[in-house]
Amino acid sequence: MAAIAFELSSDEDLVAAWRRGDELAASELVHRHAPALGRYLVALGAASSDVEDILQDAFFRAFRRVESWRGEGSFRGWLFRIGANVLRDRFRQGKGRTVLSLDGHDVAHHADPAAELVASDIEARLSAALLRLPPMQRAVFLLRAQQGMDYNDAARAAGTTPGAARVHYHHAVRQLKEWIQ
Amino acid sequence: MNECERMRDAMVDVAAARTAWNDHDAAHLALCDDCRESWTVVSAAAQLGRASSIDGARVAAGLRARLVHAPLSAPRKRWTELAIGVAAAALIGLGLTSSHRATSGSGDRIEVPTEQATAMFPELEALSEPQLKVILAGVADADADLDGGAAIPRLGDLNDEQLEELILSVEGE
């Protein structure tokens, strides 16, 4: 019964339950957000083989600091920002296998050919093109197009303003069209 | 915003299956090469990684194991206690210094040798420069109060913001 109740609960309610010490609430938040966050992290450049470890780190960090989420934005946007920060920290520590910088340097290649084999041609080209985008454009584009976030959530998740997010998204679409055609 | 930009924004909701193209937008899409190319990009992005299999149960199990071995509240509590302890030590030191200044009848600053200072407050040695700056900022505020004839500072002279900044710097977040 508790599990069914949790499935119907909002993120806010689950976070409140977790703060009261309910571990099932934490598990539900993981089940709810891990797949989408994992897809986002892989598209940002994480190796598929590392993504579950990165997710664990991201959720661990999020639950440790959950008191700093005050509900002013969505839990999802806040969590995605933490996930991207964990990924960036891993690259800085040299734990990421993909040669990728989230700091505006550049990208050499995607190191996960197995994942690319199963992707369609257009998705493979898009994956490669994404890694050529400046980091903020890449993040905002993915938060919008892949994750379906509105500009407010995408901005919070990427650490920018909604207005700037809008500009990044449109620039990214224009640039990707050019590279993919 | 022109029509194509509006369409690019709308594509996100259509790609996420939250809505469908209305007749007007469908007609525009049929006639506009630019928008069709944009739609190719956005709709492909919406599918990116859908074939991947993230095992949420495994992530949750691993997370539970980590949480058991690293209780959530303990680190913050420990660092909070450390921060308050260090702040208290610094402020007590300031109080002693100020008392000495008052009894000596001189407004001149008393020079305390570095070795003596670190021996008095060994906790300070473990802190980085940014962490020390936060403490010094609190001490400086208290010092300003003293010069204005206020009472000897107490623990509460580090405000919430300064304490939070100190805690975060100690935790490295």
Query: What's the CA gap between A100 and A46, in Å, rounded?
Result: 9
3-state SS, residue A51: helix
Beta-bridged to residue A109, according to DSSP, are: A99
- Contacts with B58 from chain A: Cβ below 8 Å: 52
Residue of B nearest to A165 (CA): B9
CA atoms within 13 A on the CB side of A56: 15
Residue of B nearest to A34 (CA): B56
Instruction: Flag if B75 and A64 touch (Cβ within 8 Å).
Output: yes
Pick from B42-46, B61-65, B169-173: least confident: B169-173
Query: What's the CA gap between A137 and A121, in Å, rounded?
Result: 22
Task: Indicate the average pLDDT of chain B.
Answer: 69
Looking at per-residue pLDDT, the higher value among B103 and A144 belongs to A144
Instruction: Flag if B54 and A55 touch (Cβ within 8 Å).
Output: yes
- Facing residue for A123 by CB, picked from B15, B47, B55: B47
- Facing residue for A34 by CB, picked from B42, B56, B64: B56
Q: Which of A56, A49, A69, A66 is nearest to A30 (CA)?
A: A56
Our CA angle for B56, B61, B67, nearest 5°, is: 120
Which helix (DSSP H) or strand (DSSP E) does residue B121 occupy?
Answer: none
Q: Are the beta carbons of B45 and A142 closer than 8 angstroms?
A: yes
Instruction: Flag if A30 and B72 touch (Cβ within 8 Å).
Output: no
B67 touches chain A (CB under 8 A): yes
Stretch B70-88: mean pLDDT, rounded? 55
What's the confidence (pLDDT) of residue A73? 87
Q: Give domain limits for chain B.
A: 3-47, 73-171
Amino acid at B162: Q
Q: Output B61-69 pairs: Cβ under 8 A, ≥24 positions apart.
A: B62/A52, B62/A56, B63/A26, B63/A30, B63/A56, B63/A59, B63/A60, B63/A63, B64/A23, B64/A26, B64/A27, B66/A56, B66/A60, B67/A23, B67/A26, B67/A60, B67/A63
What's the confidence (pLDDT) of residue A109? 43
In this prediction, residue B56 has a pLDDT band, given cuts at 50, 70 and 90, of confident
Query: What's the CA gap between A23 and B171, in Å, rounded?
Result: 24
- Contacts with B50 from chain A: Cβ below 8 Å: 39
In this prediction, residue B1 has a pLDDT band, given cuts at 50, 70 and 90, of confident
Stretch B28-42: mean pLDDT, rounded? 96
Instruction: Flag if B63 and A52 touch (Cβ within 8 Å).
Output: no
Q: Which residues of chain A have pLDDT under 70?
A: 1-5, 95-119
Mutate to test the interface with A, among B63, B68, B78, B167 (most CBs of A within 10 A): B63
Stretch B34-49: mean pLDDT, rounded? 95
- Contacts with A166 from chain B: Cβ below 8 Å: 9
What's the confidence (pLDDT) of residue B141? 47
Mutate to test the interface with A, among B7, B52, B53, B79 (most CBs of A within 10 A): B52
Mutate to test the interface with B, among A22, A64, A180 (most CBs of B within 10 A): A64
What's the confidence (pLDDT) of residue B51? 78
Instruction: Flag if B46 and A27 touch (Cβ within 8 Å).
Output: no
Instruction: Flag if B54 and A145 touch (Cβ within 8 Å).
Output: no
In this prediction, residue B107 has a pLDDT band, given cuts at 50, 70 and 90, of very low
- Contacts with B15 from chain A: Cβ below 8 Å: 145, 148
Stretch B12-16: mean pLDDT, rounded? 96
What's the confidence (pLDDT) of residue B52? 76
Fold (CATH) for A2-180: Rna Polymerase Sigma Factor; Chain: A (1.10.1740)
Stretch B88-100: mean pLDDT, rounded? 60
B20 touches chain A (CB under 8 A): no
Percent of chain B with pLDDT over 90: 28
- Contacts with B19 from chain A: Cβ below 8 Å: none
Looking at per-residue pLDDT, the higher value among B15 and B89 belongs to B15
Looking at per-residue pLDDT, the higher value among B11 and B73 belongs to B11
- Facing residue for A27 by CB, picked from B8, B55, B60: B60
What's the confidence (pLDDT) of residue B166? 59
Q: What is the ipTM of this complex?
A: 0.82
pTM (predicted TM-score) = 0.65
What's the confidence (pLDDT) of residue B69? 76
What's the confidence (pLDDT) of residue A61? 94
User: Model confidence over B111-167: pLDDT tens digits?
Assistant: 555 555 445 555 556 666 666 666 566 555 444 433 333 344 444 455 666 656 655
What's the confidence (pLDDT) of residue A106? 37
